[in-house]
Structure 1
């Protein structure tokens, strides 16, 4: 403990003055005597009493003296010293992705408790809290109150979407006011290479050191047969023990159950044959593990149109790829394509993207290609669920469309895009790639035709909280979103992009008598759990790590309590003299 204001020590004259006042003040007492002869004896007894004996009978004196001494002590500004977190300001980045639900208790709850402990240790230094995600969200900005920080931390909930930590950290760096800032990252695991080239602020990673046991559904697909459908489920045991359980396949009122047993690290393909004709299916695992979100998967089987209209100017490999899928391919001259309005079009005519008919655009007729360098990188999208693109070589690409969503790039430049109306654009001629030599080429064509064929009762498959422009039209202009019978949210037509809910599952969009289904599917990257490591990158500029905790609020509270007691003593007229 220390004192920072010795200049106020002169105020000790106040309690001294109080003592002098009580010592020398006149005291009168009513004394009845039977004769004046007794006065002398009474005066002698009063004079014989010592001053200290008089003082000990005055409760008010002691209370006043104590209050004055405490006031003098407060004026000296006493304080306690305590160690605080290293750094001048702090930025907390919290990962709320689906994988943070793993563990018992969940990793998210464990990290929230750690955040609250560190907020206490910040000891009044400014703290900013950022919720990592596709769009980073500031939950608290330069907050110094531990009480308010605890309130914010307690309100943090699972967000399900990909954390996008690299992008979030770039955003966090812009909020650091000086070189003494420290960015604390609360996640399950973080690749060290993300922080390898960071300069300026220091980084402290708080990760989960123990890998949770997990059995997951990696892939789930349903294929159409002539009279019945079939499904296949890919399972993976990412734990150290053999796991037994059940796998249930359900659609409407139909259910089929298969017993499973997986050794540590084993993958299994579980087939289901002779399934009835249904559009939406759900696969669910009933096993004992520490992560339940990847124990469910959903699949939609679109009954695509049997015919695709292809521009006869396109390379013949495109028609062969479609024909190998069992899709009927009709070729048409370029000037006749606009007459087809029921079937998807495959062409390179850019102006057809603006038409209401669904289009798979391969190449562009209104731009010239440029040389492409680099590898193909894709985002998590249903187009690539069965068609990996990492090994595809592209030598030339066309410029991308402004305002279109990019789902695949080559060397950072757009390669595959989606229009707001759902058209699919491949910004390269097939002959400028080695794609037709890859098994992913016909699988991509199948996924593209499946997406373009669509369904009147199905909106699409979304990632958690994904925003996408979709075509919805109803007399009321408003759609209510339900999961089962539970209301989730509303969507107003024309007010921005449609945003999917965060929690994976099967949903319904309802407007009047019209109902459309859609699926929210967990991202594949959120199915891979890993044990992380705690580590530090960089060192903050030296700052004061000793915090002075003032005792003045406590002293003022004690003074107030003494004044209340003094008032009660005075009110009762209590005096022990």
Structure 2
């Protein structure tokens, strides 16, 4: 509290003058006395307390005196001061990774309260809020309204994806208006080396020094054996004390459990033998720790899809196209194309179709090609989700297979077919087309590999909010995503990449009459808790350290109210005369 204009204290003589005026003002009124015998008694009563009686019968006086006192107070300029943040504008970088859910209350909830407190101390200075992730997002920009800032903070949510703090800080740097901008980073831990070379900006890191208990499922995998399915759960005790836990594996009505105990910083592999051949499995660890997001992990029993066997007699461009997809390309002689590994085979040997091995047939060895001309017309199919063939030139085609589905034509002649068992047939040699010159060629090979080596009902493993191209095609072009029967969001084909849900778990992707399974898993970095600290780096040019709130506007409102009441009292007094 203070006053900005003490020189106006002399105005206090004005209410004193009013008081003196009322004390000594003479006022006469008619007084009827019934007898001279009572005259002395009446005078004694009036002279006993003349000043007090004057004051008691003058409401107008009180109102005028109160208004004058408030005027004097307003002229003194009363105000209150409170501490404000150093800097002229602020950027809040908010870590929304999964580890911010650790603790009770969570680190994220504590940071939300801290952000509100700092925003209140900003004193109306601009505040921007940026969330972390692969694509940092600006929640508010240069906001000065405290209510709007608090509402934005309340609406923040954990996205579960990796923080990507380095690129988020670089993004926040681009929002800084000048050297007086202070960037507040709200996270659990941040390496000082990330800010060591940033001398042109001021950073305030709000870390968490609390050491928590955590037992995480680091990895969970399944493999097929002669005795059934084998599962292995890798546990890591990321704590300073021994923890006991119950590991549970479940799929449908099947459930198996194992009790374990892990010492501090211990890793343990927990095997599960002779499991039934279900595809969707979930591992859960029941343990009393401070971080639940890494206590559950789902997986899918799918065939391997990272390698392909290519007939060495085919053109080298085919092998080059697969190598560009970072696949393990294995060349084999035509006579040795009977692998027992179950890997997809790329060849022109028609006799291998509809066998035990998935086949991508390019050309035919049992027929003669004929000339063709015209533009390629494609049907709705996942193989063409990202591979457009309209501009591809094809000079020769082979005769089609009877009973196969035709998904691409040239002048009414089948160009690409799909067998009843899922084999893919391209009825042309690479030498008879300019397809390898187009980006659609490796994209088609990628889609073909996904179709041949993977399970058509399984869309894949994703990290939270991961953007990825997927092979999805339906008549309506819309896919709805559900988790445990609850709607999550929709994906429209052709409107950008597919975006995975943020929360880990098993999801169903439903389009028309087709349903696919999608699994979202936490990144390995989000399964380790590390105690951090709070610190400051860089120096900001601060304009002021306190903010001043004046009481004068409120005093003026009170004076106006008193004047209104005084007028009403005066009006009523006139009417009663």
Q: TM-score range by the shorter chain?
A: 0.7 to 0.9
How far apart are 1:123 and its partner, in Å?
2.6
Structure 2 CA distance, aligned partners of 1:138 and 1:52? 68
For residues 172-191 of structure 1, give each alpha carbon's deviation from its aligned partner in whole angstroms, at most 9, with x where no partner exists.
Answer: 11222221111111100111
Tell whether 2:496 aligns with 1:496. yes
When residues 120 and 512 of structure 1 are mapped into structure 2, their CA distance, relative to the original with a 3 A threshold, is same
Tell whether 2:338 aligns with 1:327. no
When residues 535 and 422 of structure 1 are mapped into structure 2, their CA distance, relative to the original with a 3 A threshold, is farther
Task: Report matched runs for 1:51-66 at 5 Å.
Answer: 53-66=53-66
For residues 139-196 of structure 1, give each alpha carbon's deviation from its aligned partner in whole angstroms, at most 9, with x where no partner exists.
Answer: 2322334343333222222121112211111121122222111111110011111111
Structure 2 CA distance, aligned partners of 1:358 and 1:475? 13
Task: Report matched runs for 1:308-387 at 5 Å.
Answer: 308-310=308-310, 312=312, 313=316, 314=319, 318-319=329-330, 326-328=341-343, 330=345, 332=347, 343=359
Q: Which moved more, 1:32-41 or 1:548-557?
A: 32-41
When residues 544 and 41 of structure 1 are mapped into structure 2, their CA distance, relative to the original with a 3 A threshold, is same
TM-score of the pair, normalised by structure 2: 0.72
Partner of 1:108 in structure 2? 108
Partner of 2:254 in structure 1? 254
Query: Helix, strand or coil for the counterpart of 1:112?
Result: helix
Structure 2 CA distance, aligned partners of 1:126 and 1:562? 38
Query: Helix, strand or coil for the counterpart of 1:115?
Result: helix
Structure 1 CA distance, aligned partners of 2:220 and 2:176? 44
For residues 54-83 of structure 1, give each alpha carbon's deviation from its aligned partner in whole angstroms, at most 9, with x where no partner exists.
Answer: 235433322332233213322432212333
Structure 2 CA distance, aligned partners of 1:563 and 1:301? 83
Q: Which moved more, 1:246-255 or 1:76-85?
A: 76-85
When residues 16 and 148 of structure 1 are mapped into structure 2, their CA distance, relative to the original with a 3 A threshold, is farther
Partner of 2:232 in structure 1? 232
- Residue-pair matches, total: 492
Query: Helix, strand or coil for the counterpart of 2:203?
Result: strand
Task: Report matched runs for 1:501-520 at 5 Å.
Answer: 501-520=501-520
Consecutive unaligned residues in structure 1, runs of 5 or more: 335-339, 347-353, 360-400, 405-417, 425-447
Structure 2 CA distance, aligned partners of 1:527 and 1:323? 42
Partner of 1:136 in structure 2? 136
What's the C-alpha RMSD, in Å, of the aligned pairs?
4.5
Q: Which moved more, 1:13-22 or 1:100-109?
A: 13-22
How far apart are 1:556 and its partner, in Å?
4.7
Structure 1 CA distance, aligned partners of 2:341 and 2:93? 50
How far apart are 1:97 and its partner, in Å?
0.8
How far apart are 1:198 and its partner, in Å?
0.9
How far apart are 1:357 and its partner, in Å?
5.4
Structure 2 CA distance, aligned partners of 1:491 and 1:67? 67
How far apart are 1:470 and its partner, in Å?
2.3
CA contact (8 A) 2:190 2:532 kept: yes
Partner of 1:473 in structure 2? 473
CA contact (8 A) 1:302 1:450 kept: no
How far apart are 1:572 and its partner, in Å?
9.4
CA contact (8 A) 1:423 1:452 kept: no
Structure 1 CA distance, aligned partners of 2:569 and 2:159? 59
Structure 1 CA distance, aligned partners of 2:2 and 2:136? 43
Q: Which moved more, 1:172-181 or 1:137-146?
A: 137-146
CA contact (8 A) 1:345 1:358 kept: no
For residues 1-35 of structure 1, give each alpha carbon's deviation from its aligned partner in whole angstroms, at most 9, with x where no partner exists.
Answer: 33334676686686467547645767464533447
CA contact (8 A) 2:308 2:330 kept: no
Query: Helix, strand or coil for the counterpart of 1:318?
Result: strand
Structure 2 CA distance, aligned partners of 1:323 and 1:238? 47
Query: Helix, strand or coil for the counterpart of 1:152?
Result: helix
Partner of 1:187 in structure 2? 187
Structure 2 CA distance, aligned partners of 1:116 and 1:90? 13
Consecutive unaligned residues in structure 2, runs of 5 or more: 350-354, 363-377, 386-436
Partner of 1:423 in structure 2? 446
When residues 47 and 306 of structure 1 are mapped into structure 2, their CA distance, relative to the original with a 3 A threshold, is closer
When residues 235 and 34 of structure 1 are mapped into structure 2, their CA distance, relative to the original with a 3 A threshold, is same
When residues 551 and 420 of structure 1 are mapped into structure 2, their CA distance, relative to the original with a 3 A threshold, is farther
Task: Report matched runs for 1:391-470 at 5 Å.
Answer: 423=446, 453-470=453-470
Partner of 1:389 in structure 2? none
Partner of 1:281 in structure 2? 281
How far apart are 1:540 and its partner, in Å?
0.9
Structure 2 CA distance, aligned partners of 1:306 and 1:537? 46
How far apart are 1:474 and its partner, in Å?
2.9
Partner of 2:196 in structure 1? 196
Partner of 1:350 in structure 2? none
When residues 538 and 215 of structure 1 are mapped into structure 2, their CA distance, relative to the original with a 3 A threshold, is same
How far apart are 1:490 and its partner, in Å?
2.4
CA contact (8 A) 1:319 1:329 kept: no
Structure 2 CA distance, aligned partners of 1:235 and 1:293? 14
When residues 562 and 165 of structure 1 are mapped into structure 2, their CA distance, relative to the original with a 3 A threshold, is farther
Structure 1 CA distance, aligned partners of 2:489 and 2:537? 42
When residues 567 and 226 of structure 1 are mapped into structure 2, their CA distance, relative to the original with a 3 A threshold, is farther
CA contact (8 A) 1:308 1:343 kept: no
Whose Rg is larger?
2
Q: Which moved more, 1:155-164 or 1:298-307?
A: 298-307
When residues 249 and 77 of structure 1 are mapped into structure 2, their CA distance, relative to the original with a 3 A threshold, is same
Task: Report matched runs for 1:512-531 at 5 Å.
Answer: 512-531=512-531
Query: Helix, strand or coil for the counterpart of 1:92?
Result: strand
